[in-house]
Amino acid sequence: MVSFSSVAKRYPGGQEALRSVTFSVDAGELAFVTGRSGAGKSTLLKLIAAIERPTSGSVIVNGQNVGALKRAAVPYLRRNIGLVFQDQKLLYDRSVFDNVMLPLAFSGLPPREAARRARAALDKVGLLAREKANPIQLSGGEQQRLAIARAVVNRPAILIGDEPTANLDAESAGLILDVFVGFNQVGVTVLIATHDQGLVGRLGRRVLRLEEGRIA
Amino acid sequence: MNAWLRQHRQAAGAALRRLGVLNTAVIGVALSLPTGGYALLENLRGVAGRFALDTQISIFLQPGAKRADADALGKTLRADQRIAKVRFVPREQALKELSGVQGVAEVIAALGRNPLPDAFVVTPRDQDIGQLAGELAGLPGVAHVQADAAWARRLAALANIGRVAIWLLSALLGAGLAAVTFNTIRLQILTRRAEIEVSKLIGATDAFIRRPFYYLGLFQGAAGGIVALGIVAAGLGLLNREVRALAESYGSGFRFDFLGLGDALAVVVFAGLLGSLGAQLAVARQLREVEPG
Domains in chain B (CATH in brackets) are: 3-52+153-289 (no CATH), 58-147 (3.30.70.3040)
Q: Whole-angstrom Cα distance, residue A47 to residue A68? A: 12
Distance from C-alpha of A185 to C-alpha of A189, rounded to nearest angstrom: 9
For residue B229, give how far its alpha carbon lies from the nearest alpha carbon of chain A (Å): 36
Per-residue pLDDT, A202: 80
Model pLDDT for residues A25-58, shown as the tens digit of each residue: 999 999 999 988 888 899 999 999 999 999 999 9
Residue A91 and residue A99: Cα distance in Å, rounded? Answer: 6
- pLDDT, one tens digit per residue, over B51-78 is 555 567 888 888 877 888 888 888 888 8
- Å from B238 to nearest chain A CA? 46
Across chain A, which has 216 residues, the per-10-residue mean pLDDT values are 91 88 92 88 92 92 90 91 90 93 85 92 92 92 92 92 87 88 93 86 87 84
When mean pLDDT is compared across A203-207, B93-97, B168-172, B177-181, the lowest value belongs to: B93-97
Instruction: Give the range among A151-160, B130-139, B198-207 with minimum mean pLDDT.
Output: B130-139
Burial status of residue A16 (CB atoms within 10 A of its CB: 0-12, 13-18, 19 or more) = middle
A64-65 and A56-61 strand pairing: antiparallel
Q: Any CB–CB contact under 8 A between A103 and chain B?
A: yes
According to the model, what pLDDT value does residue B275 have?
A: 92
Task: Give the separation between CA A156 and CA A153, rounded to whole angstroms.
Answer: 8
Residues of A in contact with B10 (CB under 8 A): 105
A interface test, pick of B4, B9, B201 with most A CB neighbours within 10 Å: B201
Whether ipTM > 0.90 holds is no
CA distance B13 to B8: 8
Q: B119: which strand partners?
A: B60, B89
Mean pLDDT taken over chain B: 83
The reply to whether A53 touches chain B by the CB within 8 Å rule is: no
Checking if the pLDDT of B23 tops 80, the result is: yes
Res A21: pLDDT: 92
Residue of B1, B201, B204 lying closest to A83 (CB–CB):
B201
pLDDT beyond 60 at B122: yes
Contact A106 B208 (CB under 8 A): yes
Q: In chain A, what are the domains?
A: 2-215 (3.40.50.300)
- Is the confidence at residue B224, as pLDDT, over 90? yes
pLDDT value for A54: 93
CB burial of B90-109 (b: ≥16 within 10 Å; e: otherwise) equals ebeebbeeeeeeeeeeeeee
Does position B1 have pLDDT exceeding 70, yes or no?
Answer: no
Which pLDDT score, from 0 to 100, does residue B54 have?
Answer: 58
Interface touch A106/B7, C-beta < 8 Å = yes
Beta-carbon separation of A106 and B195 below 8 A: no
